[in-house]
Amino acid sequence: MIPAVSILVPVYNVSNYIERCAHSLFQQTFEDIEYVFVNDCTPDDSVEKLLRVIEQYPNRKEWIKIIHHEKNRGLAAARNTAIDNSSGKYIQHIDSDDWIELDMIEMMYNKAEAEQADIVVCDIILKKLRTEELFCDFVPQNQEDYFYHMLEDKACSGSLCNKLVHKKIQKLPGCRSVEGLNYLEDWHVTTRLYFYAEKIVKIDKPFYHYNKININSITALKIKKHYENTKLFYELLEDFLKAEELYEKLIEIVEYSKVSLKVSLFIQTHSYSLRKQYAWLFRDIEMKYISRLRLGEKLMLFFTHYRMYFLAHLTQKLIGLKNNFLA
Protein backbone atom coordinates (compact mmCIF):
# COMPACT_ATOMS: atom_id res chain seq x y z
CA MET A 1 0.00 0.00 0.00
CA ILE A 2 1.33 3.43 -0.96
CA PRO A 3 1.48 5.76 2.05
CA ALA A 4 -0.16 9.15 1.79
CA VAL A 5 2.86 11.08 3.06
CA SER A 6 6.57 10.35 3.31
CA ILE A 7 8.45 12.36 5.96
CA LEU A 8 12.14 12.63 5.05
CA VAL A 9 14.71 13.41 7.74
CA PRO A 10 18.51 13.72 7.30
CA VAL A 11 20.41 12.89 10.51
CA TYR A 12 23.81 14.38 11.30
CA ASN A 13 25.19 15.67 14.60
CA VAL A 14 21.82 16.40 16.22
CA SER A 15 22.12 14.52 19.51
CA ASN A 16 20.64 17.41 21.49
CA TYR A 17 17.59 17.72 19.23
CA ILE A 18 16.71 14.41 17.53
CA GLU A 19 14.47 13.13 20.33
CA ARG A 20 12.22 16.19 20.34
CA CYS A 21 12.04 16.06 16.54
CA ALA A 22 11.20 12.34 16.46
CA HIS A 23 8.50 12.58 19.13
CA SER A 24 6.80 15.37 17.16
CA LEU A 25 6.85 13.17 14.04
CA PHE A 26 5.62 9.93 15.61
CA GLN A 27 2.86 11.67 17.59
CA GLN A 28 1.22 13.07 14.47
CA THR A 29 -2.58 12.90 14.42
CA PHE A 30 -2.32 11.60 10.84
CA GLU A 31 -1.74 7.86 10.60
CA ASP A 32 -0.82 7.16 6.98
CA ILE A 33 2.83 8.25 7.16
CA GLU A 34 6.06 6.66 5.99
CA TYR A 35 9.25 7.85 7.72
CA VAL A 36 12.63 7.85 5.98
CA PHE A 37 15.65 8.80 8.10
CA VAL A 38 19.08 9.06 6.47
CA ASN A 39 22.08 8.63 8.73
CA ASP A 40 24.78 10.67 6.98
CA CYS A 41 27.56 9.03 9.06
CA THR A 42 26.75 11.13 12.10
CA PRO A 43 29.70 11.16 14.55
CA ASP A 44 27.51 11.35 17.67
CA ASP A 45 24.77 9.22 19.24
CA SER A 46 21.90 10.70 17.22
CA VAL A 47 20.91 7.36 15.67
CA GLU A 48 21.02 5.56 19.02
CA LYS A 49 18.69 8.17 20.50
CA LEU A 50 16.40 7.91 17.49
CA LEU A 51 16.19 4.13 17.89
CA ARG A 52 15.23 4.51 21.56
CA VAL A 53 12.42 6.88 20.63
CA ILE A 54 11.18 4.53 17.89
CA GLU A 55 10.74 1.77 20.50
CA GLN A 56 8.13 3.96 22.20
CA TYR A 57 5.93 3.93 19.07
CA PRO A 58 5.34 0.29 18.07
CA ASN A 59 2.43 1.30 15.84
CA ARG A 60 4.84 3.35 13.69
CA LYS A 61 7.76 0.91 13.49
CA GLU A 62 6.79 -0.93 10.31
CA TRP A 63 6.61 2.40 8.46
CA ILE A 64 10.06 3.60 9.51
CA LYS A 65 13.18 3.25 7.36
CA ILE A 66 16.70 4.21 8.42
CA ILE A 67 19.15 4.44 5.53
CA HIS A 68 22.87 4.57 6.35
CA HIS A 69 25.40 6.36 4.17
CA GLU A 70 28.78 4.62 4.09
CA LYS A 71 30.49 8.01 4.33
CA ASN A 72 29.44 11.56 5.10
CA ARG A 73 28.09 13.04 1.87
CA GLY A 74 26.33 16.17 3.08
CA LEU A 75 22.77 17.40 3.43
CA ALA A 76 21.98 17.53 -0.29
CA ALA A 77 22.94 13.90 -0.81
CA ALA A 78 21.00 12.85 2.30
CA ARG A 79 17.88 14.55 0.94
CA ASN A 80 18.27 12.74 -2.39
CA THR A 81 18.78 9.38 -0.68
CA ALA A 82 15.60 9.96 1.32
CA ILE A 83 13.64 10.85 -1.82
CA ASP A 84 14.92 7.74 -3.61
CA ASN A 85 13.77 5.56 -0.71
CA SER A 86 10.34 7.16 -0.30
CA SER A 87 7.06 5.97 -1.76
CA GLY A 88 4.43 8.41 -0.45
CA LYS A 89 2.07 10.43 -2.60
CA TYR A 90 3.35 13.58 -0.91
CA ILE A 91 6.78 14.37 0.48
CA GLN A 92 7.53 16.40 3.61
CA HIS A 93 11.14 17.32 4.43
CA ILE A 94 11.97 17.87 8.10
CA ASP A 95 15.34 18.93 9.52
CA SER A 96 16.30 16.76 12.49
CA ASP A 97 17.05 19.67 14.83
CA ASP A 98 13.56 21.13 14.28
CA TRP A 99 10.10 19.95 15.30
CA ILE A 100 6.51 20.28 14.11
CA GLU A 101 3.02 20.73 15.51
CA LEU A 102 1.21 17.43 16.04
CA ASP A 103 -1.53 18.12 13.49
CA MET A 104 0.76 19.51 10.79
CA ILE A 105 0.71 16.52 8.44
CA GLU A 106 -3.04 15.96 8.78
CA MET A 107 -3.85 19.59 8.05
CA MET A 108 -1.35 19.89 5.17
CA TYR A 109 -2.45 16.62 3.55
CA ASN A 110 -6.16 17.46 3.80
CA LYS A 111 -5.49 20.86 2.25
CA ALA A 112 -3.50 19.32 -0.60
CA GLU A 113 -6.25 16.81 -1.37
CA ALA A 114 -9.09 19.31 -1.06
CA GLU A 115 -7.38 21.86 -3.31
CA GLN A 116 -5.65 19.34 -5.62
CA ALA A 117 -2.46 21.30 -4.98
CA ASP A 118 1.10 20.43 -5.92
CA ILE A 119 2.49 22.23 -2.86
CA VAL A 120 0.99 23.23 0.49
CA VAL A 121 2.82 25.86 2.54
CA CYS A 122 2.55 26.79 6.23
CA ASP A 123 4.07 29.49 8.43
CA ILE A 124 7.22 29.05 10.51
CA ILE A 125 8.15 29.80 14.12
CA LEU A 126 11.81 30.81 14.35
CA LYS A 127 13.21 29.65 17.67
CA LYS A 128 16.00 32.01 18.77
CA LEU A 129 18.12 32.08 21.91
CA ARG A 130 15.76 34.20 23.99
CA THR A 131 12.77 34.82 21.76
CA GLU A 132 10.53 33.32 19.12
CA GLU A 133 9.63 35.02 15.86
CA LEU A 134 6.76 34.24 13.50
CA PHE A 135 7.58 34.10 9.81
CA CYS A 136 4.46 34.29 7.67
CA ASP A 137 5.26 32.72 4.33
CA PHE A 138 3.72 34.13 1.18
CA VAL A 139 2.12 32.34 -1.76
CA PRO A 140 1.12 34.40 -4.82
CA GLN A 141 -2.39 33.93 -6.15
CA ASN A 142 -1.31 33.54 -9.76
CA GLN A 143 0.71 30.60 -11.05
CA GLU A 144 2.89 32.83 -13.22
CA ASP A 145 4.07 34.64 -10.08
CA TYR A 146 5.21 31.56 -8.12
CA PHE A 147 8.71 31.38 -9.55
CA TYR A 148 9.25 35.14 -9.62
CA HIS A 149 8.48 35.59 -5.92
CA MET A 150 10.52 32.55 -4.86
CA LEU A 151 13.46 33.90 -6.84
CA GLU A 152 13.19 37.21 -4.99
CA ASP A 153 13.52 35.30 -1.69
CA LYS A 154 11.85 38.04 0.34
CA ALA A 155 8.26 37.18 1.25
CA CYS A 156 8.57 33.55 0.12
CA SER A 157 10.66 31.23 2.27
CA GLY A 158 13.21 29.16 0.38
CA SER A 159 12.95 26.39 2.98
CA LEU A 160 11.69 22.96 1.94
CA CYS A 161 10.61 22.08 5.45
CA ASN A 162 7.39 24.10 5.64
CA LYS A 163 6.14 22.66 2.36
CA LEU A 164 4.23 19.46 1.60
CA VAL A 165 5.12 18.58 -2.00
CA HIS A 166 3.46 16.17 -4.44
CA LYS A 167 5.95 13.51 -5.48
CA LYS A 168 5.21 14.07 -9.18
CA ILE A 169 7.17 17.33 -9.07
CA GLN A 170 9.52 16.53 -6.17
CA LYS A 171 10.90 13.58 -8.15
CA LEU A 172 11.49 15.53 -11.36
CA PRO A 173 15.23 15.45 -12.23
CA GLY A 174 15.49 19.24 -12.00
CA CYS A 175 13.95 19.29 -8.52
CA ARG A 176 16.62 17.21 -6.82
CA SER A 177 19.35 18.56 -4.61
CA VAL A 178 22.82 18.93 -6.09
CA GLU A 179 25.32 16.82 -4.16
CA GLY A 180 27.98 19.10 -2.75
CA LEU A 181 25.61 22.08 -2.58
CA ASN A 182 24.94 21.95 1.16
CA TYR A 183 24.26 25.65 1.65
CA LEU A 184 21.35 27.20 -0.29
CA GLU A 185 20.40 23.64 -1.26
CA ASP A 186 16.78 24.21 -0.20
CA TRP A 187 16.48 27.41 -2.22
CA HIS A 188 17.99 25.66 -5.23
CA VAL A 189 15.20 23.06 -5.04
CA THR A 190 12.30 25.36 -4.11
CA THR A 191 12.95 27.67 -7.06
CA ARG A 192 12.54 24.67 -9.35
CA LEU A 193 9.50 23.36 -7.49
CA TYR A 194 7.83 26.77 -7.78
CA PHE A 195 8.70 26.88 -11.48
CA TYR A 196 7.03 23.53 -12.22
CA ALA A 197 4.10 23.71 -9.77
CA GLU A 198 0.68 24.29 -11.27
CA LYS A 199 -1.00 25.07 -7.96
CA ILE A 200 0.42 26.17 -4.60
CA VAL A 201 -1.81 26.88 -1.59
CA LYS A 202 -1.19 27.97 1.97
CA ILE A 203 -2.47 27.32 5.48
CA ASP A 204 -2.07 30.41 7.64
CA LYS A 205 -0.81 28.53 10.68
CA PRO A 206 2.75 28.13 12.06
CA PHE A 207 3.12 24.36 12.07
CA TYR A 208 6.90 24.29 11.68
CA HIS A 209 9.40 25.17 14.44
CA TYR A 210 12.76 26.17 13.00
CA ASN A 211 15.64 25.89 15.46
CA LYS A 212 18.08 28.81 15.09
CA ILE A 213 20.10 28.02 18.21
CA ASN A 214 21.82 24.86 16.97
CA ILE A 215 25.47 25.91 16.74
CA ASN A 216 26.25 22.78 14.70
CA SER A 217 23.75 23.71 12.00
CA ILE A 218 25.21 24.31 8.54
CA THR A 219 23.68 27.79 8.58
CA ALA A 220 24.99 28.74 12.03
CA LEU A 221 28.54 29.82 11.19
CA LYS A 222 29.68 30.96 7.77
CA ILE A 223 32.94 29.43 6.56
CA LYS A 224 34.68 28.92 3.21
CA LYS A 225 32.20 26.32 1.91
CA HIS A 226 29.37 28.85 2.22
CA TYR A 227 31.11 31.19 -0.20
CA GLU A 228 31.93 28.36 -2.59
CA ASN A 229 28.35 27.06 -2.40
CA THR A 230 27.01 30.57 -3.06
CA LYS A 231 29.12 30.78 -6.20
CA LEU A 232 27.92 27.33 -7.32
CA PHE A 233 24.28 28.15 -6.51
CA TYR A 234 24.26 31.16 -8.83
CA GLU A 235 26.07 29.31 -11.59
CA LEU A 236 23.36 26.63 -11.50
CA LEU A 237 20.59 29.22 -11.29
CA GLU A 238 21.89 31.19 -14.25
CA ASP A 239 22.21 28.00 -16.32
CA PHE A 240 18.59 27.15 -15.46
CA LEU A 241 17.33 30.63 -16.35
CA LYS A 242 19.19 30.61 -19.66
CA ALA A 243 17.83 27.17 -20.53
CA GLU A 244 14.31 28.44 -19.87
CA GLU A 245 15.03 31.72 -21.73
CA LEU A 246 14.33 33.78 -18.62
CA TYR A 247 17.79 35.15 -17.86
CA GLU A 248 17.45 38.55 -19.54
CA LYS A 249 14.01 39.09 -18.02
CA LEU A 250 15.11 38.28 -14.46
CA ILE A 251 18.73 39.43 -14.44
CA GLU A 252 18.15 42.36 -12.05
CA ILE A 253 16.47 40.14 -9.46
CA VAL A 254 19.37 37.68 -9.68
CA GLU A 255 22.03 40.37 -9.46
CA TYR A 256 20.48 42.08 -6.47
CA SER A 257 20.09 38.77 -4.63
CA LYS A 258 23.79 38.07 -5.28
CA VAL A 259 24.80 41.36 -3.67
CA SER A 260 22.36 40.98 -0.78
CA LEU A 261 23.60 37.46 -0.05
CA LYS A 262 27.25 38.52 -0.25
CA VAL A 263 26.64 41.20 2.38
CA SER A 264 24.78 38.72 4.57
CA LEU A 265 27.70 36.29 4.37
CA PHE A 266 30.19 39.01 5.29
CA ILE A 267 28.10 40.04 8.30
CA GLN A 268 27.78 36.45 9.53
CA THR A 269 31.44 35.57 8.92
CA HIS A 270 33.76 35.96 11.90
CA SER A 271 36.91 35.46 9.84
CA TYR A 272 38.77 38.58 8.75
CA SER A 273 40.75 36.55 6.19
CA LEU A 274 37.64 34.99 4.60
CA ARG A 275 36.07 38.39 4.12
CA LYS A 276 39.26 39.56 2.46
CA GLN A 277 39.60 36.37 0.39
CA TYR A 278 36.09 36.66 -1.07
CA ALA A 279 35.93 40.43 -1.46
CA TRP A 280 36.00 39.84 -5.23
CA LEU A 281 32.72 37.88 -5.18
CA PHE A 282 30.14 39.73 -7.35
CA ARG A 283 32.28 42.89 -7.11
CA ASP A 284 31.46 43.84 -10.71
CA ILE A 285 27.80 44.49 -9.83
CA GLU A 286 27.75 45.31 -6.12
CA MET A 287 27.90 49.12 -6.34
CA LYS A 288 24.93 49.03 -8.72
CA TYR A 289 22.68 47.87 -5.88
CA ILE A 290 24.26 49.38 -2.76
CA SER A 291 21.55 52.03 -2.42
CA ARG A 292 18.96 49.31 -1.71
CA LEU A 293 20.81 48.02 1.35
CA ARG A 294 20.46 49.00 5.00
CA LEU A 295 23.05 51.26 6.60
CA GLY A 296 25.13 48.49 8.18
CA GLU A 297 25.05 46.52 4.94
CA LYS A 298 26.08 49.57 2.94
CA LEU A 299 29.05 50.15 5.22
CA MET A 300 30.11 46.51 5.00
CA LEU A 301 29.93 46.52 1.21
CA PHE A 302 31.62 49.92 0.88
CA PHE A 303 34.55 49.00 3.13
CA THR A 304 35.17 45.64 1.44
CA HIS A 305 34.78 47.14 -2.03
CA TYR A 306 37.52 49.66 -1.30
CA ARG A 307 39.67 47.13 0.58
CA MET A 308 39.25 48.74 3.99
CA TYR A 309 39.08 45.32 5.62
CA PHE A 310 39.72 46.44 9.18
CA LEU A 311 36.72 48.79 9.04
CA ALA A 312 34.63 46.02 7.47
CA HIS A 313 35.63 43.71 10.33
CA LEU A 314 34.72 46.40 12.87
CA THR A 315 31.34 46.87 11.18
CA GLN A 316 30.69 43.13 11.47
CA LYS A 317 31.49 43.23 15.18
CA LEU A 318 29.08 46.11 15.79
CA ILE A 319 26.28 44.47 13.80
CA GLY A 320 26.93 41.20 15.67
CA LEU A 321 26.58 42.95 19.03
CA LYS A 322 23.29 44.47 17.92
CA ASN A 323 21.94 41.14 16.64
CA ASN A 324 22.95 39.32 19.85
CA PHE A 325 21.15 41.93 21.90
CA LEU A 326 17.98 41.40 19.87
CA ALA A 327 18.20 37.59 19.77
pLDDT band at 324 (very low <50, low <70, confident <90, very high): low
Q: What is the pLDDT of residue 259?
A: 97
Which residue did the predictor score with more confidence, 207 or 319?
207
Which residue did the predictor score with more confidence, 127 or 320?
127
Using the predicted structure, report yes or no on whether residue 242 has a pLDDT greater than 80. Answer: yes
Dump pLDDT digits (tens) for 247-259. 999 999 999 999 9
Decide if domain 5-211 falls under CATH 1.50.10.20. Answer: no
- The residue among 135, 95, 47 whose CA lies nearest residue 218 is 95
CA distance 148 to 170: 19
Three-class secondary structure of residue 65 per DSSP: strand
Three-class secondary structure of residue 57 per DSSP: coil
Q: Is the dihedral of CA 200, 203, 205, 208 positive or negative?
A: negative
Dump pLDDT digits (tens) for 188-201. 999 999 999 999 99
Dump pLDDT digits (tens) for 105-153. 999 999 999 999 999 999 999 998 888 999 999 999 999 999 999 999 8
CA distance 131 to 72: 33
* Non-local CB neighbours of 163 within 8 Å, separated by 6+ positions: 92, 93, 119, 120, 121, 122, 190, 193
Q: What is the pLDDT of residue 306?
A: 92
First-to-final CA distance of the chain: 46
> Do 158 and 187 form a contact (C-beta atoms < 8 A)?
yes
Using the predicted structure, report yes or no on whether residue 179 has a pLDDT greater than 60. Answer: yes
Domain boundaries, the chain: 5-211, 224-326
| pTM for the full predicted model | 0.93
Dump pLDDT digits (tens) for 204-234. 999 999 998 865 555 556 899 999 999 999 9
Dump pLDDT digits (tens) for 294-308. 999 999 999 999 999
Measured in whole angstroms, the distance separating CA 314 from the mean position of its chain's CA atoms is: 29
CA distance 31 to 11: 23
Dump pLDDT digits (tens) for 34-76. 999 999 999 999 999 999 999 999 999 999 999 999 999 999 9
Q: Is the dihedral of CA 85, 87, 91, 92 positive or negative?
A: negative
Measured in whole angstroms, the distance separating CA 275 from the mean position of its chain's CA atoms is: 24
Using the predicted structure, report yes or no on whether residue 321 has a pLDDT greater than 90. Answer: no
pLDDT band at 278 (very low <50, low <70, confident <90, very high): very high
Three-class secondary structure of residue 43 per DSSP: coil
> Do 121 and 86 form a contact (C-beta atoms < 8 A)?
no
Q: What is the pLDDT of residue 220?
A: 52
H/E stretch holding 19: helix 18-26
pLDDT band at 104 (very low <50, low <70, confident <90, very high): very high
